[in-house]
């Protein structure tokens, strides 16, 4: 799985967004932050999926934020989230997973909360560098995944909410996929894909060729009844 961790830096302090993914990668991230002289001040989880609510002891005992709905879900769904972790995750990492509270980071970020992909999913907008941290949306390798719950209209409303930020963004960072300068093109591709499947029952979106995506395409067709 290709994942991205975003590190927002201000005056030597770091905000970690969705630190991921495997234990050795979390440890390597902690080591690199130390080598760069950065102190982790806060964490933020974009949504309540197991690969987005991780932490490492070396990041420190600092506030970890999320939207209110995400914070609620990681509490109520904790057993399922833990079950999704692999055997590589040691007890300390399992214990730290999902320990988030509702709140806004003390960094210059705007939170864009919606229910696309997951209830309470949150994108972060960094206004000065014009960076959109999109969570599990606007990926160049993953198809739109409006499957938890199975709410395609909520996903489409989320795209509407993200549109002005995608227009303004110089850089977009998806949770999975490549960092790019094409946020609006990605948003248009996601809209087109959903509209095509809804209208015709088919789509030739090239992302279908990526690992696992053809199954997600068939699931979307099932949800839409086409």
**Amino acid 147: pLDDT:** 74
Contacts 24+ apart (CB under 8 A), 2-8: 2/141, 2/176, 2/177, 2/178, 3/51, 3/175, 3/176, 4/173, 4/174, 4/175, 4/176, 4/177, 4/179, 5/29, 6/124, 6/133, 6/173, 7/33, 7/38, 8/105, 8/107, 8/109, 8/124, 8/126
**pLDDT tier, 9 (very low <50, low <70, confident <90, very high otherwise):** very high
What average pLDDT does range 168-172 have in this prediction?
99
Q: Tell me: the pLDDT tens digits for 107-156? A: 999 999 999 999 999 999 999 999 999 999 999 999 999 877 789 999 99
All structural domains of the chain? 1-107 (3.60.15.10), 136-226 (no CATH)
> What is the model's pTM?
0.96
SS3 217: helix
Alpha helices by DSSP H, the chain: 23-35, 68-76, 78-83, 91-96, 152-168, 183-200, 213-224
């Amino acid at each position: 799985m290709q994942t991205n961790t975003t590190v927002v830096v201000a005056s030597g302090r770091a905000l970690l967004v969705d630190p991921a993914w495997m234990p050795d990668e979390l440890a390597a991230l902690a080591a690199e932050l130390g080598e760069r002289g950065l102190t982790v001040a806060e964490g933020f989880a974009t949504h309540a999926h197991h690969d987005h609510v991780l932490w490492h002891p070396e990041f420190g005992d600092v506030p970890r934020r999320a939207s209110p709905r995400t914070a609620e879900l990681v509490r109520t769904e904790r057993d399922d989230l833990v079950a999704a972790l692999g055997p590589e995750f040691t007890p300390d990492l399992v214990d730290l997973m999902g320990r988030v509270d509702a709140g806004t980071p003390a960094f210059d970020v705007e939170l864009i909360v919606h229910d696309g992909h997951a209830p309470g999913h949150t994108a972060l907008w960094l206004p000065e560098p014009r960076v959109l941290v999109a969570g599990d949306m606007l990926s160049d390798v993953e198809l739109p995944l409006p499957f938890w719950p199975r709410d395609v209209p909520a996903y489409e409303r989320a795209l509407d909410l993200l549109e002005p930020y995608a227009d303004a963004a110089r850089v977009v960072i998806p949770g999975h996929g490549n960092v790019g300068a094409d946020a609006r093109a990605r948003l248009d591709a996601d809209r087109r894909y959903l509209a095509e499947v809804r209208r015709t029952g088919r789509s030739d979106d090239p992302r279908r060729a990526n690992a696992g995506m053809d199954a997600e395409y068939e699931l979307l067709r099932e949800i839409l009844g086409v």
